[in-house]
Structure 1
Amino acid sequence: MSRAPFPLLDQLPAQLHGIILDFHWDADRLHALALPTSVVPIADLDWHLALPFWAVDGEPFRVSPAEVATDPVTHRQQWERTQAADLGFALDGYRRSDGRLVILDGIHRLLKASVTGRSSISVRVLPDHLFDAIAVTDGLG
């Protein structure tokens, strides 16, 4: 089986290449893994907040978490999701080949931690050798 490609790969803006994985992965599989957790300074992760991860009016990759924080009225849905985010759960991420920690799941939690003044947050780090454990397969073998 091979990994199914990320479903919105053709719409991915250049600044998200090398950040968003190029394959479709399953959040439930990710959350089910027993992964090591580290406490990471928010300052090491806040670069994520400038990237256009979120949709606007059904159009993917149109607004960054920083823009949501700056204008929560215009981006009410994402702001409400941010406010509802449970900081009791660690973020999930992976390390790129250059060593940079990238968040896979938990951008709303990262934004909430940032706007509430936290200095650090827990992150579960997925080693790249476990990517197949979270990958959705295309069934082609």
Structure 2
Amino acid sequence: MTRRPFPLPIPPALTAYILDFHWNLDRLHALDLPVTELPLATLAHHLDLPFWAYDGPFQITPRQVAADPVAYHAQYERTLSADLRHPIDVVHRPDDRLTILDGVHRLLRADLEHRDTISARVLPWSAVDEIAVRE
């Protein structure tokens, strides 16, 4: 059985970040992964990527939301309500990069609060099939 492809076209700016297959958030959260503290600087480049929707998917970056919380009120409110007691989830890719699977709002909140680190659960690349949705 093959992985179900990602359900939306992925813009070029995000092809190195978003998994190219559909995956299940509940499966990810159910995994028993250790929590570690990562330097915020390690993941800060995610804040410059158009992850969020605005008049369509993949339109605005977290930094744009932070710079104009009135225009992007919904995303800004979601950021402020993000619970930093919960770690973000990242995947450790074969090329040694860490990319965020779940938690960009928490990353932005940690950045807005000038935190140096963020709690994270790191999914090894060898385990991505555990979260994949199959056709």
Superposition TM-score tier, normalisation by shorter sequence? over 0.9
Choose from 123, 127, 133 the match for 1:126: 123
Q: Distance in 1 between matches of 2:68 and 2:52?
A: 14
Determine the structure 2 residue equivalent to 1:106: 103
Q: In the TM superposition, what whole-angstrom CA distance separates every residue of 1:13-38 from its partner, at most 9, and x where no partner exists? A: 11101210000001111000001222
**8 Å CA contact 2:93, 2:124 repeated in 1:** no
Q: Distance in 1 between matches of 2:20 and 2:43?
A: 20
> In the TM superposition, what is the alpha-carbon distance from 1:97 to its structure 2 partner?
1.9
Determine the structure 2 residue equivalent to 1:16: 14
Give % identity: 54
Structure 1 residue runs of 4 or more that deviate by more than 3 Å after TM superposition: none
**8 Å CA contact 2:52, 2:59 repeated in 1:** yes
Using the size of structure 2 for normalisation, the TM-score is 0.97
Choose from 88, 91, 114 the match for 2:88: 91
**8 Å CA contact 2:94, 2:125 repeated in 1:** no
1:4 counterpart = 2:10: no
Determine the structure 2 residue equivalent to 1:70: 67
Q: Distance in 2 between matches of 1:43 and 1:18?
A: 18
3-state SS of the aligned residue for 2:36? strand
Q: Distance in 2 between matches of 1:88 and 1:36?
A: 14
Larger proportion of strand:
1
Using the size of structure 1 for normalisation, the TM-score is 0.93
Determine the structure 1 residue equivalent to 2:40: 42
3-state SS of the aligned residue for 1:63? coil
Count matched residues: 135
**8 Å CA contact 2:2, 2:134 repeated in 1:** yes
Structure 2 unaligned blocks of 5 or more: none
> In the TM superposition, what is the alpha-carbon distance from 1:120 to its structure 2 partner?
0.2
